[in-house]
Structures are given as structure tokens and as C-alpha cells.
Amino acid sequence: MKTRTKILAVVVVIIVVIIAIAVATGGDDHDYKSQAEQEIDKYGYDSTVTEYEVEKGVNGFGVSIIKVSGTFVSDGETHSFVMTTFSDHELATLEIDGSSFWGDDMGDALYNYTAQEIGPFTYESFGYVFTEEPDEGMTFVLVTLTVKNVGHTDGLTVTAPDFENSLGNIYSMDYSATDHHDSSYSDLSFTSIGLGNTVTFNLVYQVPEGTADGEVRWSDLDLDVYGYVLDPELGQA
């Protein structure tokens, strides 16, 4: 009887320990490592989470949240991350090396560009050669725009940016000149850049002579929705 009592006591202790562990970990078998890697990779990484810890609690609004923090390796470099989710594991926030990303529905697009003044140019159409010339007192600016999709899981169709010349005036892309130059307007309109991919477009603008120095810019709406961020190293050899 004493032996049986001892065995039962041990079993009870083991059960209590198991229950305590289940309570401490939330009692779920969710794959936090894979979720973290999936969310991190939406921002252009090829991540392998090396270590992490999971904390569960309630925020100041009484909402149950799960915090996963740790490190991951991508392209030989080690980074830190903090991922918070709701109790159903829907992403709330993601922080990578101190930079925060709010959910995954807004996304980001890195870009870089060069701008140079060009003169009239020729193009072929239906077997004939034509010359594209700027309006009187104007000049062409050729913008070579490189865009990388680092956050849009469903693909990114690039909106044509405006060009701000050296006087601070804004000019829209010259659709006809752009299409005649190398059909990049058609490419821009119908190309969906897959997540992690990079595409380069050649865009043409008309600005007053002597004001060709400037920069591309998107509207505030485009910046909010697509999250264009200048990356000076993108597309560089």
C-alpha cells in the first residue's frame, strides 16, 4: 500500500508539473519560430530564427497579447526582432533591429533612381522612324527608377512618381515620351513586382531648360499606402 501511495503521489506531482507548464506557455503548440520567419521575410530577409522566447500577457487596454522576441540570421548577419500578436496569432507589430512595422497590410517598397537630362530621341513605329522632341523651352529628363518590393505580399504595381525640378516645381511623367523611349510606361502600368523582386523602369519627364536637376517624389497617399523608402544602395553594382 505504501508503494502504491508513493507511485500515486509521483503521478500527481508529474500531472501538476505538466499543468503548470501548460499554463505558463499558454497551453498551445503554435509554431512561433515559423511565424516569425514568415513575417520577417516579408521585409526582404531570408531569415532563420536562432533563438527566441515567448511571453503572454494583457496590454493596457485589456487585450491579450503574445510577445515573441529573439534573434535571426539573414545573409550571414545577425538581427534582433520583437513580434507581438493577438491571442489568435494575428500579427500586431513587428520590430526588426529597433525599426517597427505595424501589421502586414501596408507593406514597403524600396527605391533608388538616377536622373539625367537628354535631348530629342528617335523611335520606330509601324516601320517608320520618328523624332520625339520636348516642347519649346523645355528639356527631357530621363529617370532610371529601380523599385524593390519588400512588403507587399500580393505584389506591387508601381505608381508613376512626379519629378521635382531644381526650382521646386512638380512635373508629372510624360506618358507619350516615356512610352516612345522604351515602352517603360506600359511596363510600369502592367508589371506586378513579386515580393522580394526588383524591377527597373525608364521614365521621361519634361521640365524647363536649365532645371533638370531634381528628385522623384510620390504623393502623400502613395507614401502611406505603398511605403516607398529611398535606398541609395539599391541597384548599384
Average pLDDT (70-90) is 91
Residue 157 neighbours by CB distance under 10 Å: 14
> What is the three-class DSSP state of 224?
helix
Residue 73 main-chain phi, psi, to 5 deg: -115, 135
C-beta separation of 115 from 212 below 8 A: yes
Range in 50-64, 90-104, 182-196, 199-213 with the lowest mean pLDDT = 90-104
Confidence of residue 42 (pLDDT cuts 50, 70, 90): confident
pLDDT at 88 over 60: yes
Confidence of residue 102 (pLDDT cuts 50, 70, 90): low
pLDDT at 3 over 60: no
Helices (H), the chain: 2-25, 32-41, 175-182, 184-190, 220-226
Q: Which pLDDT score, from 0 to 100, does residue 142 have?
A: 96
Q: Which pLDDT score, from 0 to 100, does residue 59 have?
A: 65
Give the closest residue to 174 by CA, choosing from 118, 232, 234, 109: 118
Average per-residue pLDDT for the chain = 81
Instruction: Please state the pTM of the whole predicted model.
Output: 0.55
pLDDT of 185-235, one tens digit each? Answer: 667 777 889 888 999 999 999 999 999 999 999 887 677 667 788 888 887
Residue 221 main-chain phi, psi, to 5 deg: -65, -45
Q: Which pLDDT score, from 0 to 100, does residue 6 have?
A: 41
